[in-house]
Amino acid sequence: MAAALPATAGSRLAAIPMLRCNWKNPATAVERCLERISEAAAKLGDLPPVLVPCQSWKEIRALGNRLRHECDAVREDRLWDIVQVDLPLFVRCLRS
């Protein structure tokens, strides 16, 4: 956390889980990219399932909500599975 928010080190703010992010951690970068995908899906409303029906857009949006609101419960092994398994399928689906 010191690298992310040095002014909060040792303060009560350091007890807030979302402020303990280590922005140099690759998992944090992955989370942010997944949030962007989820947010784009939400902003497009009903259009994603029409354009790309082979994806579970409800799950994509739900992941974004979980990353934003339950960040302390996100498991790095699940993020790894998303990157290794789900994202390649997602990209193939988008390209087809």
pLDDT per residue over 69-84, tens digit each? 987 888 888 888 998 9
Distance separating alpha carbons of residues 9 and 4, to the nearest angstrom: 10
- With respect to residue 12, please indicate whether it lies within any of the assigned structural domains: no
Distance separating alpha carbons of residues 50 and 76, to the nearest angstrom: 31
- With respect to residue 62, please indicate whether it lies within any of the assigned structural domains: yes
From its phi and psi, is residue 92 left (phi > 0), alpha (psi between -120 and 50) or beta? alpha
Count of structural domains, the chain: 1
- With respect to residue 21, please indicate whether it lies within any of the assigned structural domains: no
Distance separating alpha carbons of residues 15 and 44, to the nearest angstrom: 35
Distance separating alpha carbons of residues 96 and 92, to the nearest angstrom: 6
- With respect to residue 2, please indicate whether it lies within any of the assigned structural domains: no
Confidence of residue 62 (pLDDT cuts 50, 70, 90): very high
- With respect to residue 74, please indicate whether it lies within any of the assigned structural domains: yes
Domain of residue 41 covers 26-95
pLDDT per residue as tens digits for the range 19-41: 445 556 777 888 888 999 999 99
Query: Model-level pTM?
Result: 0.69
